[in-house]
Amino acid sequence: MQEFNFPNWVNKLFLVVLAAAVVFGGYFSNMIFFLIHPDVINVGHRPTQPVPFSHQLHAGQLKMDCRYCHNTVEVAGHAAIPPTATCGNCHGGDRVVAGRTLAVVHQESPLLAPVRSSLETAKEKPPGSAPDSVDWVKVHDMPDFVYFNHSAHINRGVSCVSCHGRVDQMVVVEQAKTLSMKFCLDCHRNPEPHLRDPNLVTDLEFKIGPEHPQVVVDKEGKEHRFEDQESYGAFWRKELGINPNVNCSTCHR
Ligand code: HEC
Ligand code: HEC
Ligand code: HEC
Ligand code: HEC
Ligand code: HEC
């Protein structure tokens, strides 16, 4: 039987098909990646921390206000992660201030060893140097081409819960929302469902309804009673003159 030989051009065709498969395969998998991407980015991202600090315990059970530790949220773009000295107020142990021994909660706990050693190094540093902190691992991380600002939201009655979920119920903090461009724009286009009294933004349990009416005194001293988010949000939008921007340059500058 005579051997069948493919003509020479078949070799070339094979290469062309292979090249096309590589190029288009890459193209389509990228397309699919970017199509899915905005909905899944980093949701649930939950790095392991050097100290098992629990928000559920400190912010939930002990009812500590978010601003006790994240004390710059109202005044700065960035929400500060607390220095170890803040933890030392309760877990410092050996420090004596004005004759009072501070902070004896779980003084011996091995879980708090990094906190204690950080407090020790802080003592040895020259005064005026940057405060010592535990090496916390970042949970949220926006790309650098996005401009975000905490105080612009906190002072306008947008609660932490809108963007971070129920942190007060989290033993380990995780990213609760996509924080994608669509996520930002959905609220900038229609903020009312998320607006409230700026004094209540750190109350993550906030409720409104017939059983949980919100009573507000406006600038003129007139009292208003609200039982639904729609009219309550609309009130705050008007009261504070809120008009979120959707221009590209608001978030990409
Ligand atoms: C006792 C201090 C303390 C209090 C109170 C506190 N936090 Fe934190 N928070 C921390 C520390 C420490 C970290 C860094 C370690 C970690 O991620 O668990 C952190 C991390 C976070 C992060 C993740 C930051 C990142 O890396 O992206 C968010 C979001 C957050 N806190 C929100 C809140 C909110 C909302 C509240 C109020 C309900 C609150 N925190 C109350 C100490 C505190
Ligand atoms: C206002 C006081 C207060 C501050 C400030 C505070 N804690 Fe606590 N923390 C407590 C109390 C109270 C407990 C113990 C609750 C219990 O065991 O019932 C605790 C428990 C803990 C535990 C569990 C210890 C164990 O062995 O079970 C860790 C870890 C911890 N805190 C870390 C931190 C870190 C890190 C900071 C600073 C970001 C901090 N805490 C700030 C009051 C505080
Ligand atoms: C409108 C959405 C939004 C609101 C409201 C909001 N955050 Fe954030 N938060 C973000 C985004 C986005 C990041 C990531 C910023 C980055 O990586 O540059 C972030 C990051 C953080 C961080 C990490 C440090 C930092 O600045 O990157 C902490 C801590 C934090 N938020 C705490 C809070 C607390 C506490 C509140 C309420 C008082 C709050 N946030 C309200 C969107 C929000
Ligand atoms: C839950 C609602 C909500 C979400 C989500 C939200 N924003 Fe906003 N944003 C607002 C409101 C309300 C304002 C205040 C508008 C005003 O003052 O008129 C604002 C203001 C801003 C400003 C300030 C603009 C200025 O004039 O300085 C920036 C920047 C911004 N948002 C960026 C973002 C980014 C980036 C995201 C997504 C990571 C985001 N926002 C998500 C509601 C939201
Ligand atoms: C309210 C804030 C906000 C506004 C307004 C905004 N963006 Fe974005 N944009 C974001 C955020 C947040 C991301 C990052 C999402 C992520 O992490 O992937 C982003 C990402 C992007 C990207 C990168 C591709 C991607 O989807 O990840 C491009 C391109 C972009 N924006 C273009 C624009 C243009 C053009 C406009 C004006 C029509 C605009 N943006 C308006 C918040 C905004």
pLDDT tens, per residue, the chain with 253 residues:
566 666 666 666 666 666 666 666 555 555 445 444 544 568 888 888 999 999 999 999 999 999 999 999 999 999 999 999 899 888 876 655 555 555 567 777 888 889 888 888 877 777 777 788 899 999 999 999 999 999 999 999 999 999 999 999 999 999 999 999 999 999 999 999 999 999 999 999 999 999 999 999 988 899 999 999 999 999 999 999 999 999 999 999 8
DSSP 91: H
Ligand nearest to the CA of 68: 1
- Ligand 2: does its nearest atom lie under 6 Å from the Cβ of 51? yes
Residue closest to 232 by CA, chosen among 246, 219, 244, 215? 215
Examine residue 33 and state whether it is found in any structural domain, yes or no: yes
Task: Tell me the CB-side half-sphere exposure of residue 172, using CA atoms within 13 A.
Answer: 13
Predicted confidence at residue 36, as pLDDT, reads 47
Q: Considering the domain boundaries, does residue 152 fall inside one?
A: yes
Strand 96-97 to 100-101 pairing: antiparallel
Q: How far is CA 115 from the centre of its chain?
A: 23
Number of domains in the chain: 2
Residue with tokens 């905490």: 150
Q: What's the whole-model pTM score?
A: 0.89
User: In angstroms, what is the span from residue 5 Cα to ligand 3's centroid?
Assistant: 67
pLDDT given at position 19: 65
222 part of a folded domain: yes
Domain span at 23: 13-42
- Amino acid 35: pLDDT: 46
Tokens 């600038």 -> residue: 219
Question: In whole angstroms, what is the distance from residue 59 CA to residue 67 CA?
Answer: 10
In a domain? residue 81: no
Rounded to whole angstroms, the Cα distance separating 238 from 125 reads: 50
Q: What is the pLDDT at residue 40?
A: 52
Give domain status of residue 187, yes or no: yes
**Per the domain annotation, does 65 fall within a domain?**
no
CA angle 160, 163, 164 (to 5 degrees): 70
Q: Is residue 100 included in any domain, yes or no?
A: no
Q: Which ligand is nearest to the CA of 135?
A: 1
How confident is the model at residue 106, as a pLDDT? 74
Report pLDDT for 94: 62
175 pocket-lining for ligand 3 (C-beta < 6 Å): no
Question: Among 190, 201, 170, which Cα is nearest to 234's?
Answer: 190
**Separation of 140 CA from ligand 3 center, angstroms?**
8
Contact present, 208 and 229 (Cβ < 8 Å): yes
Q: Is the CB of 225 under 6 A from ligand 3?
A: no
Structure confidence at residue 241 (pLDDT): 96
Domain annotation covers residue 138: no
154 lines ligand 1 (CB under 6 A): no
- 237 close to ligand 2 (CB < 6 Angstrom): no
pLDDT value, residue 38? 46
> Residue written as tokens 């500060």?
80
User: Which atom of ligand 3 lies closest to the CA of 141?
Assistant: 17
Choose the residue to mutate in 173, 174, 205 for probing ligand 1, maximizing ligand atoms within 8 Å of C-beta. Answer: 173
